[in-house]
């Protein structure tokens, strides 16, 4: 095992041992001791096409041998041209794409773009951002400001900007009992917040069309996104769809929002667009958003050394081509039905409150009492303990906490590669059940 302080690596956690991964193939990862792990969450919702696809590395090597890096301030390159063309052609309503390296960076660019759009139009008072709670949009400071994950925010509160929050359409924990006029579940809470802030002061509303880890793959009711789109239009507020996690085919369509018949003003993608073979994210937008900048200052006031990077863009182009040639998004949609059917078998187990999601994205919420939906006490660190025990069982999941009330709440996320088989889904269910049994016995 590898851990602090026995290694020069500054690990993500300084209080645990890490197995050394040495190879991956399909949905599996192998460590230096030969133990195999079923990657049920694609690392971090990233490995869309599976591990060990040689042709992606070969495409990167070909690009690196021709041209590895040029500054996006001085040159364009063939790989970024191809990637942006591919992204805008397949993303309804989008005309341009700006390429960066992570989901947090994409959020920063999207929010800066929204603010600069209004400045260049002479509406400088429009600076306020409205976001959901619970939510998560990244870990850089502006992205962290928009998120509502208090365990991430508490050390940096003095550095964060003030964001207006409205309740997420989180059906499992909403007291509305599916009431049609529920402000949270209908989206009407957004209009109330805009009116309270003053429409002339609100620049943007940011949300994940289908929830990520902060709401455990929560799927809003069918009219929610259409309603918030209409509210944004009515009050001249830009709608930003954060699809870093739920996009790139993960929910069975290229973007999650397209299944609701809605087009945002700005959309972010990341994680799956390069399948984990390189760090790539993208901000897509309509020409109507860019044109005031083109007529005015002439440039987005955001710059990063490795934006528009040729080798990482080549990885994304190769990944998207692989998705198309093997019809993996269609496969994700189809096998997603089997995935959710078999996960429902876990609802009979003690400690399970709800299982939800779409496509190959699922959230499994743990509760101490299914009747009252009471969460486990945070002191038990139930989700973290479960994820550690699941890894011991050879199953990789993603834990999340705090969604119940900002502090309490435990869930595990699943997001396997699109190539997963029915037999591997059964293996996920079996290993998940064993890990839960052990975790409950230790609680």
Tell me the pLDDT tens digit for each residue of 338-389.
999 999 999 999 999 999 999 999 999 999 999 999 999 999 999 999 999 9
Report if residue 117 sits inside a domain: yes
For the chain, percent of residues with pLDDT exceeding 70: 100
- pLDDT average, residue stretch 405-430: 97
DSSP 357: E
Report yes or no on 2 lying in a domain.
no
Same domain, 334 and 319: no
Task: With both helix axes pointing from N to C terminus, report the angle between 310-325 and 54-66 in degrees, rounded to the nearest 10.
Answer: 150
Residue 10 lies in a domain: no
Mean pLDDT of 12-24: 95
Furthest-apart CA pair in the chain: how many Å?
Answer: 64
**Phi/psi at 96 (nearest 5 deg)?**
-140, 155
Mean pLDDT of 261-277: 98
> Do 49 and 105 fall into the same domain?
no
| pLDDT score, position 116 | 98
Strands (E), 112-235: 128-133, 164-167, 202-207
Final residue belonging to a domain, choices 291, 325, 359: 325
User: Taking the C-alpha atoms of 264, 270, 271 and 277 in order, what is their torsion angle to the nearest 10 degrees?
Assistant: 150
Q: Could you tell me if 366 and 311 lie in one domain?
A: no
pLDDT > 80? residue 178: no
Beta-carbon count within 10 A of 66 CB: 13
Domain count, the chain: 2
CATH number, position 259: 3.40.640.10
Sorting pLDDT into bands at 50, 70 and 90, what band is 179? confident
Q: What is the pLDDT of residue 410?
A: 97
The pLDDT score that the predictor gives to residue 406 is 87
Residue where a domain stops, chosen among 306, 325, 344:
325
CATH number (domain holding residue 34): 3.90.1150.10
Across the beta sheet with 36-39, the strand order is 21-25, 28-31, 36-39, 395-396
Helix (H, G, I), strand (E, B) or coil at 323: helix
| SS3 (DSSP) at 203 | strand
Supply 415's token pair.
Answer: 């997001």
Q: Which stretch of 52-56, 201-205, 303-307 has the lowest confidence by average pLDDT?
A: 303-307
Mean pLDDT of 308-317: 98
Shared domain for 158 and 277, answered yes or no, is: yes
Does one domain contain both 289 and 225?
Answer: yes
Pick from 51, 14, 77: nearest CA to 313: 77
Burial class (CB in 10 A: 0-12, 13-18, 19+), 272: buried
Instruction: Taking residues 266-271, report their average pLDDT.
Output: 98
Q: How far is residue 325's CA from residue 335's CA, in Å, rounded to a whole number? A: 17
**Mean pLDDT, the chain, whole residue set:** 96
pLDDT > 90 fraction of the chain, expressed in percent and rounded: 95
Q: What is the pLDDT of residue 136?
A: 95
Assess whether 333 and 306 both reside in one domain.
no
**What is the model's pLDDT at position 428?**
98
379 and 246 in a common domain = no
- With 90 as the cut, is the pLDDT of residue 423 above it? yes
The verdict on 391 and 252 lying in the same domain is: no
**By the 8 A CB rule, do 120 and 295 touch?**
yes
Where is the domain boundary, 266, 296, 325?
325
Give domain status of residue 314, yes or no: yes
What secondary structure does DSSP assign to 258-297, as a single string? GGGT---SEEEE-GGGGTTSS--EEEEE-HHHHHHHHHTT
CA distance 23 to 83: 28
118-127 contact pairs (CB < 8 A, 24+): 118/203, 120/292, 120/293, 120/295, 120/296, 120/297, 121/292, 123/200, 125/200, 125/201, 126/200, 126/201, 126/202, 126/203, 127/201, 127/203
**Collapsing DSSP states into helix, strand and coil, what is residue 428?**
helix
Residues 246 and 256: beta-carbon distance below 8 Å: yes
Q: How far apart are CA 35 and CA 173, in angstroms?
A: 38
* Residue 324 CB neighbours (<10 A): 13
- Indicate if 174 and 61 belong to the same structural domain: yes
Task: Select from 232, 290, 217, 291 the least CA-distant residue to 264.
Answer: 232
The answer to whether residues 368 and 256 belong to one domain is no
Query: Does any domain span residue 31?
Result: yes
**Same domain assignment for residues 333 and 311:** no
* pLDDT, tens digit, 9 for 90 and up, residues 65-113: 999 999 999 999 999 999 999 999 999 999 999 999 999 999 999 999 9
Question: HEC states along 70-137?
Answer: CCCCCCCCHHHHHHHHHHHHHCCCCCEEEEECCHHHHHHHHHHHHHHHHHHCCCCCCCEEEEEECCCC
Closest CA to 400 of 220, 119, 189, 211: 211
Stretch 391-397: mean pLDDT: 98
Please say whether the beta carbons of 233 and 317 come within 8 A.
no
Give the side-chain half-sphere CA count within 13 A for 325.
Answer: 8
CB of 387 within 8 A of CB of 398?
yes
| Residue 320 and residue 332 in one domain | no
Show the tokens assigned to 412: 């595990």
Q: How confident is the model at residue 189 (pLDDT cuts 50, 70, 90)?
A: very high
Q: What is the pLDDT of residues 106-152, one digit of tens each?
A: 999 999 999 999 999 999 999 999 999 999 999 999 999 999 888 88
The DSSP H or E segment spanning 362 is strand 361-366
Range of the domain at 423: 21-53+327-442
Closest CA to 338 of 227, 223, 219, 423: 423
Residue found under tokens 């133990």? 35
Give the end-to-end CA distance of the chain in Å, rounded to a whole number.
Answer: 26
Output the pLDDT for position 180. Answer: 84
């Amino acid at each position: 095992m590898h851990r602090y302080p026995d290694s020069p690596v500054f690990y993500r956690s300084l209080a645990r041992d890490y197995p050394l991964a040495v190879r991956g193939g399909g949905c599996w990862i192998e460590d230096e001791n030969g133990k195999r792990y079923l990657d049920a969450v694609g690392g971090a919702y990233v490995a869309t096409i599976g591990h060990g696809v040689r042709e992606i590395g070969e495409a990167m090597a070909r690009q690196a041998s021709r041209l590895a890096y040029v500054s996006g301030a001085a040159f364009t390159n063939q790989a970024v041209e191809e990637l942006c063309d591919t992204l805008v052609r397949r993303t309804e309503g989008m005309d341009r794409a700006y390429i960066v390296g992570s989901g947090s960076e994409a959020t920063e660019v999207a929010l800066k773009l929204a603010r600069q759009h209004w400045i260049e139009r002479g509406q400088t008072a429009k600076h306020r951002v409205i976001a959901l709670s619970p939510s998560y949009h990244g870990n850089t400071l502006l992205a962290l400001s928009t998120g509502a994950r208090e365990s991430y925010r508490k050390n940096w509160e003095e550095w964060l900007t003030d964001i207006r929050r409205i309740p997420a359409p989180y059906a499992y924990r909403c007291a509305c009992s599916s009431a049609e006029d529920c402000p949270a579940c209908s989206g009407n809470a957004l209009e109330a917040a805009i009116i309270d802030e003053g429409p002339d002061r609100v620049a943007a509303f940011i949300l994940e069309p289908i929830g990520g880890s902060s709401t455990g793959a929560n799927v809003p009711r069918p009219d929610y996104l259409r309603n918030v789109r209409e509210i944004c239009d009515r009050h001249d507020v830009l709608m930003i769809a954060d699809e870093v996690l739920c996009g790139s085919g993960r929910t069975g369509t290229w973007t999650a929002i397209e299944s609701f018949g809605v087009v945002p003003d700005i959309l972010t993608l990341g994680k799956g667009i390069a399948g984990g073979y390189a760090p790539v994210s993208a901000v897509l937008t309509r020409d109507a958003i860019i044109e005031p900048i083109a007529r005015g200052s002439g440039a987005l006031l955001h710059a990063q050394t490795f934006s528009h990077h040729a080798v990482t863009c080549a990885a994304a182009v190769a990944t998207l081509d692989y998705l198309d040639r093997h019809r993996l998004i269609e496969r994700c949609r189809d096998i997603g039905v089997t995935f959710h059917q078999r996960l429902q078998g876990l609802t009979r187990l003690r400690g399970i409150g709800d299982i939800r999601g779409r496509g190959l994205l699922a959230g499994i919420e743990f509760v101490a009492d299914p009747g009252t939906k009471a969460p486990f006490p945070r002191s038990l660190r139930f989700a973290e303990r479960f994820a550690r025990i699941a890894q011991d069982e050879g199953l990789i999941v993603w834990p999340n906490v705090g969604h119940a009330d900002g502090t309490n709440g435990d869930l595990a996320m699943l997001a396997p590669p699109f190539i997963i088989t029915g037999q591997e889904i059964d293996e996920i269910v079996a290993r998940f059940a064993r890990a839960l049994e052990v975790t409950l016995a230790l609680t």
